[in-house]
Amino acid sequence: MAGSTHASPIDKPASSSGRKQGPGSEAWRRFRRHKLALVSAVILVLIALSVLLGPLIWTIPINDIDFSARLAGPSIKHPMGTDDLGQDLLARMLYGGRISLAVGLAAMVIAILVGVLVGAIAGMSRGWVDAFLMWLTDLFLSLPQLPLLLLIFYLFNDALKKWVGPETGVFILVVAVIGGLRWMPVARLVPHSSYRFAKRSLSKLLAPSVHLLPAKCLNIFSRMLWVL
């Protein structure tokens, strides 16, 4: 009919997309669409499982020296061969992989925590605080990582060895330097995201009040007329 109004094609998906998606579900949806990220995640999980569970299956000690099998090629006894001291390379690789994963995860946690903290403070506070934190971020971005790592090792290695032992001391130094020099990209991204999040949250908070404002004004106006 000429006077009838047809339903808009936009109205249908509005009911299906009315569900609110949290940040976790949105991140997972974007992650699933990235095929290369999925393949990389599968490879990382396989490496982590082999490193964590491998020493329980391959129980050859990493420090056993066998000069009769030095520089041997891959075999049933040594699937990846041996080094110049006859030590099994597979056992040493599994042992070293656990240390690499621990260092990477610990440094990543430090970088994310420091970067999110600095970026959130810079995003929520404008003026000289934001300028100072971004200047500090640029300063850390300009620092050379390798010379700074060697300098920190030279200054604090002996003290940490006496305090927590040689292996734990080296671990703390490496994690502190890597994590302390990787927070800057996170701090660069967080201010804009935190400002958008605060703006969106404020608009959602004020949205019901904006819709109720005409009714409130009409109610006040009717009461004024009744008094008069």
Output the pLDDT for position 80: 84
- Of 130-134, 160-164, 220-224, where does mean pLDDT reach its minimum? 220-224
For residue 50, give Cα distances in angstroms to 29, 41, 42, 79, 185: 28, 14, 12, 15, 31
Query: Over the chain, what is the mean pLDDT?
Result: 75
Q: Which of 102-111, 173-182, 194-203, 205-214 has the lowest mean pLDDT?
A: 205-214
- The whole-number pLDDT of residue 42 equals 92
pLDDT tens-digit readout, 10-28: 444 444 445 566 667 877 8
The yes-or-no verdict on residue 179 having pLDDT over 70 is: yes
pLDDT at 46 over 60: yes
Q: Which residue has the higher pLDDT, 64 or 51?
A: 51
Phi, psi torsion values for 89, nearest 5 degrees: -75, -35
Query: Widest CA span of the chain, in angstroms?
Result: 110
Q: Is the pLDDT of residue 131 over 80?
A: yes
pLDDT in tens, 162-173: 888 777 878 888
Question: How confident is the model over 52-95, as pLDDT tens digits?
Answer: 888 888 888 888 787 877 888 888 888 888 888 888 888 888 88
In the predicted model, is pLDDT for residue 120 greater than 70?
yes
pTM: 0.64
Backbone torsions φ then ψ of 60, nearest 5 degrees: -70, 130
Q: Output the six-digit token pair for 124.
A: 């929520």
Find the DSSP H helices in 58-165: 89-124, 128-141, 145-164
100 to 19, 73, 135, 197: CA distances (angstroms):
41, 25, 32, 35
Name the phi and psi angles at 82, rounded to 5: -130, 165
Which residue carries 């094609």 as its tokens?
Answer: 9
Per-residue pLDDT, 1: 47
How many Cα atoms within 13 Å fall on the side-chain side of residue 224?
A: 6
CB-CB contact of 124 with 194 (8 Å): yes
Q: How would you classify residue 6: left for phi > 0, otherwise alpha for psi between -120 and 50, otherwise beta?
A: beta
Across 121-136, b (16+ Cβ under 10 Å) vs e yields bbbeeeeeeeeebbee
174 burial via Cβ count (<10 Å: 0-12, 13-18, 19+): middle
Task: Give the per-residue pLDDT at 110.
Answer: 92
Which residue reads 């995640």 in tokens?
Answer: 41
Q: Residue with structure tokens 């971020």? A: 137
Average pLDDT over residues 113-119: 89
